[in-house]
Structures are given as C-alpha cells and as structure tokens.
Structure 1
Amino acid sequence: VRNLAIRYDATKPLEIAGFKIRDTHPAGRWLNTPEALVHSSNVVTAQIADNLGREKMEKMSRGLEFDRRPSIELGERAKPIWPKSWGRVTNMTVGYGHGISVTPLHLASAFAAMVNGGIFHPATLLKRPVNAKDNGRRVFSAATSARMRQLLRMIVVDGTGKKADAEGYRVGGKTGSAEKAGIGGYSRSLVVSTFVAAFPMDNPRYIIVAMLDEPRGTAETGFQRTAGWTSAPIVRRTVQRIGPQLGIIPDTHRDVDVSELMPLLWAPKGGG
C-alpha cells in the first residue's frame, strides 16, 4: 500500500522529447496509483512506466505474448504491431496503450493472467478437464494479481468503469479509449473504445472484452464517446444476461475487500 500512495504530478501535460502526453479529463492535481487508474490518467501512467524502465516493461509485454501471434487453434491469427525501436518515449506511451497494438485475444489472455493469480495460459478452443496440466507460466506474482483484483474492482465501483457494474456480479475492469492510428499519426477525431472486464472479481472465472470502433456520442452518453460511456454499459448488460446461464448467482453480500485502498482515493471535504 505504501508504494501505491506515492503521488505523481498530473497538474499539466507531460512534456517529453518534444511531445506532450495529455489526459482526456485532467484531474489538475497530483495523483497516486489507485487514483490514476480510477481517473485513467495517461500522464501518471507514463511516469510509472518511465520509472519501471524499458527492461521490465518489455519483459512483461513479451511474457504476455504481445510480441507474437496469439496462441490458439486458428489459422487466422493477426500479428501485433510491435515497436520498431523501444526508446524512452515509446516505453512511456506503451504504458498507456499507444506505440503498440494487439488483438482482443491478446488483451483477454493478458487480463486473465493479471487476475487469475498471475499465470499466463495460452488461449484454446478445446475443452479441457479442470485439473488438466498445460504450459502456463508465471508472469505476475500472486500478490500483484491480488492487488490488481482490488484495483480493477475499484475502477468499476468508484472510477471510469461505473457503468459496467452489474449488481451482485462483482465486475472489475478497465476502460481504454485509444485514438485510431492512421497515415501520419493518431486521429484526434476517431477512437476505439474498449472495456476489458472479469467477473466475479473475488474469484474470477470469465473475461469480457467489449470494443467499439469509432463510437459516436449521443444524448444518452452525454455526447461522450469514451469507453466508460460506450463500452462499459455493454459489459454490464452482457454480464446480467449471461451470468445466470453460467451458473453465477448475483450476491450483494460478498465482494472484493478494497477497504485498505479506499483511504487513498481523494474526496473533496464535505462530500463524496
């Protein structure tokens, strides 16, 4: 918890090598790690990636198979877009999802490893016995995975993922609103909005990746097109529909214990 309490400057865009890294909805203050996740701060995430350094970031990305076609029994497996050179700027932008591009299956497999105790299992279409052995390998420590389950649940309870919260199903997840890459750089007007979720987060069994290509804001979304407004509600409705079919009964009396992290979230005096 001590490391999560370290604060990073999010009062202004981050300038690096002639580029500016910005937040879609700037908090205008210093943020710690839980707050950065709850508010989806690119500025803080870039600083954390910079502190970790290229070696750790690249090792993790390769461990999650972001550098190769996904492992699955299909011929139509797309290659990811891997950085041609991994310098300091690339390392910082990879931290929040730019500079690298992977398939939804890559994303789902990585998310599963992050919440299942830290073990990466190659994706498969084959039904296997529950106790069957595979060539899974550790990518995250069990302690890190447990902490991520708390943080991802907090994002849905108190952050940009609120609209993904299906009552009683303990959904945890993360928004991702990426500008579309095109000729000459990233588009400022077109985005891909993604919400990746797991449930029930106190004992994760299922992963959902909801992705919308070039969503447009409507009156219902407050004319917002980011993932928290467009993709997150899809997750909520999907979980509510498929949860009972999967044998998961909603239970409002159990949840991930995030009590030790809640004091790290700043709230204005006199209100939430």
Structure 2
Amino acid sequence: MILEARKIGFRYEDGTRALDDVSLRIVRRQKLVILGANGAGKSSLMSLLNGSFKPSAGEVLLNGEPVAYDRKGLTLLRSQVGLVLQDPDDQLFAATVFEDVSFGPLNLGLSVDEARLRVSNALDAMEISDLSHRPTHMLSFGQRKRVAIAGILAMSPSVLLLDEPTAGLDPRGVEDLTRTLDMLAAKGIAVVLATHDMDVAYALADRVAVFAAGRVLMEGAPDAVFGQADFCERSGLRLPNIFQVASGLKDLGLLPSDGDLPRSVDELLRLVSAPR
C-alpha cells in the first residue's frame, strides 16, 4: 500500500457534501478505476488524494503516515502522488513541450542534468520524444494530454491520478493511452483513474470502486462488481459492452464456464474460436 483514504469526508465552502465516510487503499502496480455518475464525488476524491483539498473528516495516509497539510507535508505528498487533470490546458503553461515537462523536476531542486534525464524518460514513456521542441499551443488535444501526463511522470511519482484521461481522445488515442497506463503499472506505479468510459474501465482495471452520492457503493474485481444483478439500478451506469457480450456467450455455453471473462475484442475472438 502507498496511499490510503481512511473514512474521509469533504464539504465545499457552500456546505455541499462531496464525500462521506470514504475508505480506499491504493497499491503499487495496481490499476484502480473510480466509476460513478456526474456528481458522485470522483473528482473531489482525486483532489483530496493529491492534497489539493483537505478532508473535512478522516485522513489521507501516505506510506502509512497521515498527510500533514503544511508546506513540507504537501510537498512530500505531491512528490509521490501526481494528478493529471481532465483538461490538459489547465496544466500546460510553458512555451515548448520540453520546458513544460522540465518544470516539475527543476522545481524539486534537481540538477539540470538529472532533470534533463527525467524529462527524456518521461517523453519516451509517453512516446512523444519527437515533440520535445514543439510549441505546446501547436499540439493536438491528444498530444497535449500526453504532455500533461509526461509532466507528472517526470516527477517520478509512486501514484498517478488521472481525472477522465480518455475524454476528448479518438479511439486510437484511447487505445494508446490504455496501453501506456498498463506499461506504467507494470513498472511499479499505482494508477488511479476516474472515468465515465465503462469499456476503458473494464479493459484496464485490476479493481473498480463505484461511487454514488459521495460514498463507495461497490468495490472489488471488475467481474465481481459488474456481475452484481442490480449493478445498473444501484449505480446509474451501464455495463461494459465486452462484459455484456462475454457474459451472454458464457451463459450459452460458447465460452468456458471457468476462468475470467475476456476484457477486449481480441481476447473474446480468441476464446470463441479456440477449439474445445
């Protein structure tokens, strides 16, 4: 475990309750997907985990220790927990890609050589090294989103938080980003994303947490959560398309009765065509 929310609550200044008694554990190498309808509390949770908001109740723990909300404590938290906002234009501000991604490492007090190495590694990880000297305002939306993520990766975080990371991306961009997040998790980073995209959630998640009215409604492995008979009624969400198709084929005896359901079209086709 790296990061934990323990019975946290949060209210905005006008008294609106965003979160109530929420507990979640974030584990290294695990991809946790936060699901919920608009207003469920997903974005508020992300801001609390990053220290942008302070809980009204409960506590956030980093490596088992409660987060301190002074300058030192927040600097420590944000050096390990990076937040990528939904709109990359809310994060990008430098003239070029290289300058933007290098801001965080230099702000940590790293040497120019070490900062340059971190920037290079982050750009490589996001497959945008060829854009390093491009003006940020001349990039496509998907490219700007990748630059925003690279800027967080250059800080070498243990936890990567992403708020609606696939919003505004075309299908190819979604596939590329999903593959990149899988790769980052395999390297040891805990990946947490809030999304409305049920198909991305099913393809990516090791674990899902479903929010409603500021509380955790369901949590667990994707097949277990989506397999609940009243999932749609309770959550206000639809089931992932691949999950619906694969479940139906399994009920018809066209997929093995044991084992996990396929998470992608390619996996589904392999299983359907495999000799039995």
**Which category describes the TM-score, using the shorter chain as reference length?**
0.3 to 0.5
TM-score by length of 1: 0.34
| Structure with the higher fraction of residues in helix conformation | 2
Rg bigger for which structure? 2
Instruction: Indicate the structure whose relative CO is greater, using CA pairs within 8 Å and at least 6 residues apart.
Output: 2
